[in-house]
Amino acid sequence: MKKKVLAVLIGLTLVLTMVFGLLPGCKATPETPTTPGETPTTPGETPTAVKPVPTGEGETFTWRCQSVGSAGSSYWPWLLRVVEDVTLLSQGRLTIEMLPVGSIVGTMEVFDAVSSGAVESGTSCDPYWAGLDPRFDIQGMISAHFTFDEALIWFGDDPAIPGRELTDKLYEEFGVKWLPIHLAPTESEYVSNKVILNPGDYKGLTFRGTGWTGMVMNTEDFGAAGVMMPSGDVYSSLERGVIDACELGNPYSNWLRGLHEVTEYVGFPGIHKLTETNSFIVNMDQWNKLDPYLQKVVEVSTERMITQRFETETYQSAMTLFDLDDFGCKIVYESPALQEEWRRVSWGLAEEMAVDNAEFKEMWDAMKDFTAIVRPYMQLQTPSWGVGEEAYPWPVIMAD
């Protein structure tokens, strides 16, 4: 009998231990795992967690956010999700009114409006601001530069990687807080009514290309007329023949814009922009008014969008290729010679710019050093199967 009672007591003790151990605040602090040979961190070295502020406690804030995109773009629902996350996680202490392009200022005036404090926050296609400082171009990703996964590593929090520090330094010079909100999936190289396979095929074309891309096209090597224009003007410009071709977005976002209705060919790979940084920018004075908890809310809400949108739009773009084939558009894979030409010309322009611009050189050299370490490893991990026309489920125009 005593043994049965003892067994019951032991069992009850174990159950209570498990239950209370699962309750918030009742867990024993686990020991910090260490690598053999390392000294365990002490509790005093552990960063203090930011605790949620209960509803109704603390100062409240309302921001207007001027987007560089329209309410009909594929970008818009994701921005609204960020707004929703901020409201939820801040328990209503920070609310953001998301405004479509043109509500307060035009696309190309958004950065100045945030920098000056005319509007509290905005969304940013970072290469748009290259006229203010050429570092915005390489920060926003130039031709034949970082892929999505390389950019994700570059802008991370690892102190051994200087990407985030250099980016923060650039934006802070303009009184702006930079927060990554989207690292774009690789874009289509172009939509056009002419096949572009080899370097000479660009000659004579009027081509919508933002920032660095337009600069590359304007070189003698490519011989195109690269022009800058807001994305909202692209459809009508293609339809009226004002431009012959454009680079703009991934296949899915371009499908939503209807660009397949006014062009015949879609080119790949998007060597002109393997990824692109889009960000949430905040006037620095407004940012500094937030307590650490609200700052963390904004950081978490914006960074969450990066992987969510990437995974969704990459899959949607893959499915869009079947739609393009059904519609009658033709898919083109540019020659290795053209891809190499993009890299040669693009990197050559960066080297020239670095000669007379010390701040540009600092960022560019750091990016090259990073690439030299990471890219060979990424290439080693990339399988080579599925190369050639037979790998595709739809017809592909390829160079001989």
Categorize the per-residue pLDDT at 34 as very low, low, confident or very high, splitting at 50, 70 and 90.
very low
What average pLDDT does the segment 273-298 reach? Answer: 96
Say what the pLDDT of residue 154 is.
96
CB-based contacts of 195, cutoff 8 Å, min separation 6:
201, 265, 330, 332, 397
What lies within 8 Å, CB to CB, of 106 at 6+ separation is 230
Whether the per-residue pLDDT at 82 is higher than 80: the answer is yes
For the chain, the domain total comes to 1
Residue 379 lies in a domain: no
Structure tokens at 11: 């069992």
Q: Are strands 225-227 and 206-208 parallel, antiparallel or unpaired?
A: parallel
Mean pLDDT score of the chain: 85
Sequence-distant (≥ 6) Cβ neighbours of residue 281 within 8 angstroms: 110, 111, 114, 121, 122, 123, 124, 171, 176, 177, 178, 179
Does pLDDT of 10 surpass 70?
A: no
Query: In this model, does residue 234 exceed pLDDT 60?
Result: yes
DSSP 93: S
CB contact at 8 A, 139 and 170: yes
Within-domain flag for 132: yes
How far apart (Å, rounded) are the C-alpha atoms in residues 163 and 139? Answer: 9
Confidence check: pLDDT of 126 > 70: yes
CA dihedral 309, 314, 317, 322 (to 10 degrees): -140
Main-chain phi, psi angles of 280, to 5 degrees: -105, 120
- Let me know if residue 157 belongs to a domain: yes
Q: What is the pLDDT of residue 24?
A: 37
What CA–CA distances, in Å, run from 119 to 136, 148, 308?
Answer: 21, 30, 27
Residues 6+ away with beta carbon under 8 Å from 81? 305, 308
Q: Is position 181 within any domain?
A: yes
Q: Which residue has the higher pLDDT, 287 or 209?
A: 287
Q: In the sheet where 206-208 sits, what is the strand order?
A: 225-227, 206-208, 245-246, 190-192, 265-268, 330-333, 396-398
| Six-digit token string for 373 | 């370490």
| 25 inside domain | no
Residue 52: inside a domain: no
Tell the burial category of 79 from Cβ atoms under 10 Å away from its Cβ (0-12, 13-18, 19+). Answer: buried
3-class DSSP assignment, residue 341: helix
The tokens describing 307, both together, are: 């992987």
Helix, strand, or coil here: 370?
helix
pTM: 0.79
Counting residues of the chain whose pLDDT is more than 90, the rounded percentage is 63
pLDDT exceeds 70 at position 21: no
Averaged pLDDT for residues 54-71? 86
For residue 38, the tally of other CB atoms under 10 A from its CB is 9
45-59, 127-141, 339-353, 368-382: the lowest-pLDDT one: 45-59
Identify the pLDDT of residue 56.
Answer: 54
Compute the Cα dihedral for 290, 291, 294, 296 and give only its sign: positive
171 CB-near residues (< 8 Å, 6+ apart): 177, 178, 281
- Assign 138 to helix, strand or coil: helix
Residue environment code for 242-252, b if the CB has 16+ CB neighbours within 10 A, otherwise e: ebbbbbbbbbb
d(CA 254, CA 214): 19
**Phi and psi based region of residue 4 (left: phi greater than 0; alpha: psi -120 to 50; beta: remaining):** alpha
Residues forming beta bridges with residue 268, ordered by sequence position: 333
pLDDT value, residue 42 = 36
Q: Is the pLDDT of residue 105 over 50?
A: yes
Check whether 5 has a pLDDT greater than 90: no
Q: Output the pLDDT for position 383.
A: 82
For residue 269, whether the previous peptide bond is cis, meaning omega lies within 30 degrees of 0, is: yes
pLDDT over 70 for what percent of the chain?
Answer: 85
For residue 329, being part of any structural domain is answered with: no
Question: What was the pLDDT predicted at 389?
Answer: 67
Residue pair 197/338 in contact by the 8 Å Cβ criterion: yes
**Model confidence pLDDT, tens digit, residues 39-59:** 333 333 444 455 554 555 789
Q: What is the CATH number of the domain that holds 83?
A: 3.40.190.170
Would you state the pLDDT for residue 79?
95
Which residues span the domain enclosing 292? 61-186+276-312
Q: What is the pLDDT of residue 52?
A: 52
Residues 276/183, Cβ–Cβ less than 8 Å: yes
The answer to whether residue 249 is domain-embedded is no
Of 35-49, 83-97, 126-140, minimum mean pLDDT range: 35-49
| pLDDT tens per residue across span 136-146 | 999 988 889 99
Spatial distance between the Cα atoms of 132 and 114, rounded to a whole number of angstroms:
14
What long-range pairs does 75-84 form, CB within 8 A, spacing at least 24? 75/123, 75/182, 75/253, 75/278, 76/100, 78/182, 78/305, 78/308, 78/309, 79/123, 81/305, 81/308, 82/181, 82/280, 82/301, 82/302, 82/304, 82/305
- CA 231 centroid distance within chain: 17
